Amino acid sequence: MLPKTLGALALAAVLTTPAAAAPVKIDFWFGNSGDIAKRVQEQCDRFNKSQGDYEVVCTSQGSYDASLQNTIAAFRAGQQPTIAQVSDVGTLDIMLSGAFYPANKLMKDYGFQIDWNDYFPGIASYYATSKGEMYSFPFNSSTALLYWNKDAYAKIGKDHGPATWEEAAADFKALKEAGYACPLGFDISRNEVWQFEEQFLAVHGEPNATMNNGYDGLGAEMVFNKGKWVRFVKDLKGWYDAGYAVIKSKDTGQDFVAAFAAGDCQTILTSVGDHGTIGRTAKPGMNWDVAMLPVYEGTERKNSVVGGATLWVLAGKSDAEYKGAATFFQFLAKPEEALTWSTVTGYIPVRKSGYDYLQKEGFYAKAPYKGRELAIQSLSYTPPSPVTRGNRLGGLLQIRQEIANGLQQIMIQNADVQTALDGAAERSNAILRRFERTYEGKQLP
């Protein structure tokens, strides 16, 4: 037993020792839902357990649209999160708002060294300014691939997916004649226009809009109704009418990804981000694989474009929160984290160092993940050109809806292809002009 004097001193020391400071809380709003939302939360938990100074509170807003709109509303009310996930379509909106702390400046200000050249050019170029500055952190990134059922294709004498659309047309016909009810499953809703229109134009090296897809200013006009995509839509309509292509969506009771996983459709075009979902839900014993998107014969293939979202740090927060955000981003950049993220999702690493680490660990040699490297190869097929770096268009989400409306008219209402696409382009241009008026006098960074 301690003498009374020593015991009193020990008790006094306990009573006067300051309690450990509570970790600084950082709000992070994201738009992913379902299984991916769980994976984001797991990532947040890993960061919180890795250190004790900061606690990132990650909250799903339910969708990309809701994440952007809720963030804007919260900012106006002075209740914005520190970090917000914004999808590719919302890049220009937040970039012109000025209501953010540029990522490159944040990391430098708080003493973190980032090699911005480590990001894949096909990813960085979509989000960078005209000077190559990164205002946000690429997060969940993907591109579109063609998924094909190896067992079904073997029955028509094929051991590979189609490399050209001419080859694809012959394959779809053969699959139909072999008794398959859905050689190609597709969806023409707004959320799925991305792989059929923007990705198609990129790999064919054709513009979606003038002024280098909007990167050169706010005066761009849509031109998707003037190039090879018109031919593709005509072909798609022909396949649809012949029963070679079948619309599979939530409205039909089974979306096209689920239809492929169930073996009901033999070919689909979708994000590499769906690779993990298909791997987990595919019909037992089904053999399938992926390929890069087909191009028309005689086309010099170009790089595909990135989809997904980046993380923006918002203005109006404290120094402690900003340092916490920078610490969180440094954690996300670890190659080990890239491995875990790619394993549990299907998204690709955004940095070359992360990809190299996955290669070193034999990630792409493992059966569940084999093929995902094609997404990197597709994004890096050529250096991004002024028309293959992406789209910087105001109201892009609404533009996708107008394109979807045009496709609905063509497929369901038998509208003339050129007339319907011209109408979609005209309505899209009206959206661009409204956006231009909203930001009149603003210069793109």
Q: Would you put residue 205 in left (φ > 0), alpha (ψ -120 to 50) or beta?
A: left
Nearest-angstrom CA–CA distance, 420 and 423:
5
Nearest-angstrom CA–CA distance, 105 and 329:
13
pTM score of the predicted model = 0.90
With beta carbons less than 8 A apart as the criterion, state whether 276 and 347 touch: no
Which residues are CB-neighbours of 375 under 8 A, at least 6 positions away?
Answer: 142, 143, 145, 272, 348
DSSP-based three-state secondary structure for 289: strand
The residues that bridge with 29 in the sheet, in sequence order, are 59, 84
- Give the residue, 163 or 75, on which the prediction is more confident: 163
Look at residue 238 in the predicted model and tell me its pLDDT: 98
Mean pLDDT of the chain: 92
Q: Taking 70 as the threshold, does the pLDDT of residue 155 lie above it?
A: yes
Which residues are CB-neighbours of 246 under 8 A, at least 6 positions away?
Answer: 181, 182, 184, 185, 186, 240, 265
Look at residue 18 in the predicted model and tell me its pLDDT: 54
Q: What b/e sequence results for 369-389 when a residue is b if at least 16 CB atoms lie within 10 Å of its CB, and e otherwise?
A: bebbbbbbebbbbbebeebbb
Look at residue 266 in the predicted model and tell me its pLDDT: 98
CATH 3.40.190.10 fits 144-304+394-438, yes or no: yes
Q: What b/e sequence results for 178-210 when a residue is b if at least 16 CB atoms lie within 10 Å of its CB, and e otherwise?
A: eebebbbbbbbbbebbbbbbbbbbbbbbbbbbe
CB atoms within 10 A of CB 59: 16
Burial of 319 by CB count in 10 Å (0-12 exposed, 13-18 middle, 19+ buried)? exposed
Residue type, 404: A
Would you place residue 443 in the very low, low, confident or very high pLDDT band (cuts 50, 70, 90)? confident
DSSP-based three-state secondary structure for 394: coil
Torsion of CA 98, 103, 108, 113, to 10 degrees: -170
Q: Taking 60 as the threshold, does the pLDDT of residue 5 lie above it?
A: no
Q: What are 107-122's pLDDT values in tens digits?
A: 999 999 989 999 999 8
State the DSSP string of 65-113.
Answer: HHHHHHHHHHHHTT---SEEEEEGGGHHHHHHH--EE-HHHHHHHTT--
- Within the chain, all domains assigned CATH 3.40.190.10 are found at 24-142+307-379, 144-304+394-438
- Overall average pLDDT of the 341-355 stretch: 90
- Overall average pLDDT of the 67-72 stretch: 89
The tokens for 97 are 């708002």
* Helices marked H in 221-315: 228-242, 256-261, 275-281
List the Cα angle 331/334/340 in 5-degree steps: 100
Q: Which helix (H) or strand (E) holds 247?
A: strand 245-247
- Ranking 16-25, 51-60, 322-331, 401-410 by mean pLDDT, the lowest is 16-25
Q: What are 291-324's pLDDT values in tens digits?
A: 999 999 999 999 999 999 999 999 999 999 999 9
Look at residue 400 in the predicted model and tell me its pLDDT: 95
With beta carbons less than 8 A apart as the criterion, state whether 406 and 423 touch: yes
Q: What are 380-434's pLDDT values in tens digits?
A: 999 999 999 999 999 999 999 999 999 999 999 999 999 999 999 999 999 999 9
Q: What are 127-153's pLDDT values in tens digits?
A: 999 888 999 999 999 999 999 999 999
Look at residue 153 in the predicted model and tell me its pLDDT: 98
Q: What b/e sequence results for 286-315 when a residue is b if at least 16 CB atoms lie within 10 Å of its CB, and e otherwise?
A: eebbbbbbbbeeeeebbbbbbbbbbbbbbe
- Overall average pLDDT of the 212-217 stretch: 95
Residue 60 DSSP one-character state:
E
Radius of gyration of the chain from its Cα atoms, rounded to whole angstroms? 24
Look at residue 20 in the predicted model and tell me its pLDDT: 60
Look at residue 55 in the predicted model and tell me its pLDDT: 97
List the Cα angle 229/207/236 in 5-degree steps: 10
Q: Taking 50 as the threshold, does the pLDDT of residue 4 lie above it?
A: no
Domain spanning 24-142+307-379 has what CATH number? 3.40.190.10
